């Protein structure tokens, strides 16, 4: 019974005026901003095709890209594991390692670099957010160069350090 009382006000609703049919006139469309700037010869700014991003911006974009890439890899591995069984992903990796052992250092570097860069980049962003005072563009530029260099060095060290020991050679006497 009480539902009728709630529904009663809804029966007297008339359609809003915006649903009424409207007439439209054929009006020539105005050229877009980009078209107008093309005619004047002026560049559309800021536009990534003409704007040179500073290293600080590239560094920030790289942090975001490595995060997206890392998430995609985790989702792909999880999906492969769910759909193909628990050992499918590791079996595929072991198969490649067995057939192409010379690619192992490069593969380890390729895995270590985005993880290390994302980790160091996030630490840098946390430091920037927590200690805003004392930073200028020059300091941030130096940290951008530094993070690329440190990431490359750490990733190379991870790839080299985690290499398995060389098998012993047969010694003939």
Residue 78 belongs to domain with CATH number: 1.20.1300.10
Residue 173 inside a domain? The answer is no
Q: Which residue has the higher pLDDT, 27 or 87?
A: 87
Are 94 and 87 within 8 A, CB to CB? Answer: no
Asked if residue 14 is part of any domain, the answer here is: no
pLDDT, tens digit (0-9, with 9 covering 90-100), for 13-51: 555 555 656 666 555 678 887 788 788 877 666 666 667
Asked if residue 107 belongs to a domain, the reply is yes
Of the candidates 97, 125, 117, 128, the residue with the CA atom closest to the CA atom of residue 158: 117
For 130-165, the pLDDT digits (tens) are: 887 767 888 889 999 999 999 999 999 999 886 666
> How many domains is the chain partitioned into structurally?
1
115 falls within a domain: yes
Q: C-alpha dihedral over 54, 60, 62, 64, to 10 degrees? A: -150
Query: Burial code of 106-116, b = ≥16 C-beta within 10 A, e = fewer?
Result: eebbeebbbbb
* pLDDT, position 34: 75
Please write the tens of the pLDDT for every residue from 98-131: 888 888 889 899 999 999 999 999 999 888 888 8
Predicted TM-score (pTM) of the model is 0.63
In this structure, is residue 99 part of a structural domain? Answer: yes
- Domain of 134 in residue numbering reads as 55-161
């Amino acid at each position: 019974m009480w539902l009728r009382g709630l529904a009663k006000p809804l029966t007297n609703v008339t359609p809003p005026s915006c649903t009424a049919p409207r007439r439209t006139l054929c009006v020539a469309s105005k050229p877009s901003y980009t078209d107008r700037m093309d005619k004047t010869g002026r560049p559309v700014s800021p536009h990534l095709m003409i704007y040179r991003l500073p290293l600080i911006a590239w560094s920030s974009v790289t942090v975001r890209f490595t995060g997206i890439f890392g998430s995609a890899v985790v989702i792909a591995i999880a999906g492969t594991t769910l759909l193909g069984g628990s050992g499918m992903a590791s079996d595929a990796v072991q198969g490649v390692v067995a057939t192409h052992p010379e690619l192992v250092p490069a593969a380890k570097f390729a895995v270590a670099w985005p993880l290390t860069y994302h980790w160091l980049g996030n630490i840098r962003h946390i430091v920037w957010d927590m200690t805003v005072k004392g930073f200028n563009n020059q300091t941030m530029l130096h940290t951008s160069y530094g993070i690329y260099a440190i990431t490359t060095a750490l990733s190379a060290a991870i790839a080299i350090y985690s290499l398995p020991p060389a098998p012993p050679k047969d010694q003939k006497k």
